[in-house]
Structure 1
């Protein structure tokens, strides 16, 4: 499963107006007092190298990227500050691949903390055949501004399973994966969550030119507490070998708070990513 917490980071980094932190685990009910009127924010490194889902297309060796941004808004005596940092590092030896991702978002309004989130994940994948791969993952989320009843203060997920490459060509790739997992979460003024869960993911890549490609990543998590979905459709443009731009639409749905997909949170944002090897 592609790291669904990255989608949460994007919703935190690329927010306009009052947008909550969202992921397939925390149910879009984190802090709602985000910095208003951000015209452009740099997201967590969401740029995906060709076929990093399930190792296909990945180059042997280490790689990584970092994104950082900061904004300060002063309006009629009201001041707000918002900062965010995202880091990814991983490697691939031809059979085994892993990724470590970390994202931190912090904000203040008139000297009072308004945003405080930490997202982290570790993904491991092993190629079993040309088309089949196994995966394991550990993810964690912390929201220091969770105050509403039912809001997730801490959320942890560990899982694994198998994946299959449906299409794997030079310009088009589509992989799916699924498997069981276990989820533990702490909620405000409600019983903690500790239960078996299941995950299903789909990742699609389509090259438009040497420097431009489209991705669509979907993650679904099911447990007794809720069914959650995060989908991101994005256009990626490489400016240089190290610098790239990404414009994406992220949709986050939680059955605990949304009646149907029309109630989902939709976030449109732009990210600037620096890639290093």
Structure 2
């Protein structure tokens, strides 16, 4: 049975996602808005464990500009041994160019102790487009180039003859690219669904992630959320799986907006 003795969470400063779509020179009040979530989940793939998580997703709009910050982390133990320790930090800045088109800059940093990478960093930018921005349906896409830095762990493996091979740690800095799709549909004031797809390309590896969630309001500020995430790595290190899945249940506090 899993035990939890601590919970790890990272914090971030840097960069945006698409959070709001309003006319480029709106006179509406500006300010911070977002959510904080506490979750419990079950992860399979490189680790098979239950874990606890904490995440924060906030943004501030100032005229045509939006600044967004995301920080989340998960920690778990299996029979007293650490089996999950991951945190992710990202920041975005975007600017509306017209009612649909926007430019963005993005930076992200991830550490996952149970993959073949010590860390993954991306810095880049590009263009995005709001396909739908209605009361019920919202869908935006974005993408662009950048630089990806993969800190590959030292690994020990064997060759076909059974001889031990030591592959040293290395830092791979390469051309990178990011693409993201954010879709949300609101059934009524209490229930909504969303689907987010992310692609982060780099020479050492490319991560493809899809997260689908169902959110139901409990009160004005508190909601319950169930989500399912699938993550695929095109080139995992020797001895690691290429696919991870995570099923989570979360209590979400929303503010602002």
Per the normalisation by structure 1, the TM-score is: 0.68
> What is the correspondence of 1:249-260 to structure 2 with a 5 Å cutoff?
249-257=228-236
Q: Are the structure 2 counterparts of residues 233 and 197 from structure 1 closer, same or farther at C-alpha, using a change threshold of 3 Å?
A: same
Greater Rg by CA: 2
Distance 1:110 1:167 in 2: 47
Match of residue 91, structure 1, among 50, 60, 64: 60
Match of residue 188, structure 2, among 209, 218, 224: 209
Q: Are the structure 2 counterparts of residues 204 and 67 from structure 1 closer, same or farther at C-alpha, using a change threshold of 3 Å?
A: closer
Deviations 1:96-149 (A, max 9, x none): 111212223334456554433332111111111001011111111123x34x6x
Deviations 1:135-183 (A, max 9, x none): 111111123x34x6xx111111111100011122211121111100111
> What is the correspondence of 1:1-277 to structure 2 with a 5 Å cutoff?
36=2, 53-56=18-21, 60-68=30-38, 83-109=52-78, 112-143=81-112, 145-146=113-114, 151-189=116-154, 190-257=169-236, 264-277=243-256
Distance 2:211 2:179 in 1: 15
Distance 1:240 1:137 in 2: 33
Runs ≥4 residues deviating over 4 A: 35-38, 80-83, 108-112
User: Counterpart in 1 of 2:13?
Assistant: none
Task: Tell me, yes or no, if the aligned pair for 2:34 and 2:59 is still in contact at 8 Å.
Answer: yes
Number of aligned residue pairs: give it: 217
Task: Tell me, yes or no, if the aligned pair for 2:110 and 2:120 is still in contact at 8 Å.
Answer: yes
Task: Tell me, yes or no, if the aligned pair for 1:140 and 1:157 is still in contact at 8 Å.
Answer: yes
Structure 2 spans left out of the alignment, 5+ residues? 11-16, 23-27, 42-48, 155-168
- Give the number of the structure whose residues are more often helix, by fraction: 1
Distance 1:271 1:131 in 2: 32
- Give the number of the structure whose residues are more often strand, by fraction: 2
Deviations 1:158-217 (A, max 9, x none): 111000111222111211111001111211114322111111211111121121111111
Distance 2:105 2:61 in 1: 15
Distance 1:228 1:104 in 2: 18
Structure 1 spans left out of the alignment, 5+ residues? 1-34, 45-51, 72-79
Distance 2:88 2:200 in 1: 17
Considering only aligned residues, what root-mean-square deviation do their CA atoms show, in Å?
3.3
